[in-house]
Structure 1
């Protein structure tokens, strides 16, 4: 049985679990998690926009490869994808002698590649659905003004699709933040890895993981607040948003 009163007294007294050394590990984990999630989301978003346009194409030879990519990465666990990229790449002949080895040797970059490919697949489908939902009236009006297909896509379809996709994309950002907790399985010192280190050193399962859970919770609320702000700014013209 856990002595709750003793645990609370130790926690309030500021025991050895929250020393400057352990807090430095938590800070390192926070920085690593933020970098991993932020960079993967940015690269994934950049990749997802052209992939969503290709996925929406009526030409099968353009849309089918993108469909296959999104199907594979959305249909398999992110943890398996991370294992394949981190552990499987070393089995390619000559990889350790190539210029790519400094990238794959460090745990951060295989994790970044796995996270980027995963979020790009989900974001592609989110934007594809938003593109398909574009009003035909908007497209016909733009064509009536003589817009080319590329200009129509830049001026009308993409901005409109981005506004519609914003709520779903906000959920994807939160999902990636929570999924980043698996990065510690490839020796990456993220937030979960920092909590695991403190636990292994002091054999205290509650304090480090509860503290990290609180950090994740604060980050989640910050993301929710940011996307709610964006939704109010970008969707203020809609009756449902202005009501």
Structure 2
């Protein structure tokens, strides 16, 4: 018996025994999708935040419009726009060599999730940077530091601590929101669970999937608590 069939064997549930391996395989797909999206979205979000704070009028307005659109529209609508819209511009994507990616549902979902989480992370970064007192910049300039060094050595570390908790919340939200990927044929955790239910009509597979989501979120929460405590230990009073 495979380890992935063990939960079904323990509780005596045939559906989990038969489809446990498929559900755990979907869990791996979910984690891969979320990891790619959050990591890429982090870099894009920081760039957008910097453009909004220090860019020109035009570039700042474009960045603001980007965050407004992706934060103000449903993730599902964004996913459908990319997944079904890519087919509408297939000749263009073929000309630039991108159709090989956009014909795959997984890439469409990863692309959409990246754009979505980048908008939220951009606002987190922007607020965190703005929370650093202006006196920090002035003191660093008085020491002869250049603007680039001031940002990365003085401002960024302080802003990072402020942004840490909201970024953890965004990661949790992305884990739960990733379930919409199942609607575009991706066999992630929810997609694999729907497949199992369609063949077994046993609601226990959904209960099991919900518990797996809960377990992932709880692990993220506890890991984030440890990271936050370590990075802010110098701020704790004795």
Fold conserved between structures, TM > 0.5: yes
Specify the alignment match of 1:67 in structure 2. 64
Q: Which of 156, 168, 180 is the aligned partner of 1:170?
A: 168
Is the CA contact (8 Å cut-off) linking 1:89 and 1:95 kept in structure 2?
no
Is the CA contact (8 Å cut-off) linking 2:90 and 2:99 kept in structure 1?
no
> Residues 13 and 159 (structure 1 numbering): CA distance in 2 closer, same or farther, change over 3 Å?
closer
Worse overlay, 26-35 or 230-239? 230-239
Q: 1:93 deviation in Å?
A: 5.3
- TM-score (normalizing by structure 1): 0.90
Is the CA contact (8 Å cut-off) linking 2:136 and 2:154 kept in structure 1?
yes
Q: 1:230 deviation in Å?
A: 1.1
Specify the alignment match of 1:113 in structure 2. 111
Is the CA contact (8 Å cut-off) linking 2:67 and 2:119 kept in structure 1?
yes
Q: Which of 176, 179, 182 is the aligned partner of 2:180?
A: 182
Q: Distance in 1 between matches of 2:72 and 2:176?
A: 18
Q: Distance in 2 between matches of 1:164 and 1:64?
A: 25
Q: Where does structure 2 lack aligned partners over 5 or more consecutive residues?
A: 1-7
> Residues 102 and 93 (structure 1 numbering): CA distance in 2 closer, same or farther, change over 3 Å?
closer
Counterparts of 1:96-107 in structure 2 under 5 Å?
Answer: 97-98=94-95, 99-107=97-105
Q: 1:105 deviation in Å?
A: 1.1
Does 2:51 align with 1:42?
Answer: no
> Residues 37 and 93 (structure 1 numbering): CA distance in 2 closer, same or farther, change over 3 Å?
closer
Q: 1:96 deviation in Å?
A: 6.2
Q: 1:234 deviation in Å?
A: 1.1
Q: 1:11 deviation in Å?
A: 8.4
Q: Distance in 1 between matches of 2:196 and 2:98?
A: 33
Equivalent pairs counted in the alignment come to 230
Q: Deviations over 1:155-192 (max 9, x none)?
A: 11112111110011110000000000110000000100
Does 2:204 align with 1:207?
Answer: yes
Q: Which of 46, 49, 53 is the aligned partner of 1:52?
A: 49
Q: Distance in 1 between matches of 2:134 and 2:103?
A: 49
CA RMSD across the alignment: 1.7
Q: Which of 222, 225, 237 is the aligned partner of 1:228?
A: 225
Worse overlay, 180-189 or 148-157? 148-157
Q: Which runs of 4+ in 1 moved over 6 A?
A: none
Q: Distance in 2 between matches of 1:77 and 1:113?
A: 15
Q: Which of 73, 78, 83 is the aligned partner of 1:76?
A: 73
Q: Where does structure 1 lack aligned partners over 5 or more consecutive residues?
A: 1-9
Q: 1:24 deviation in Å?
A: 1.6
Q: Deviations over 1:11-64 (max 9, x none)?
A: 865232122x41121121011000000110000001111211111126322311
- TM-score (normalizing by structure 2): 0.92
Specify the alignment match of 2:4 in structure 1. none
Counterparts of 1:129-208 in structure 2 under 5 Å?
Answer: 129-204=127-202, 206-208=203-205
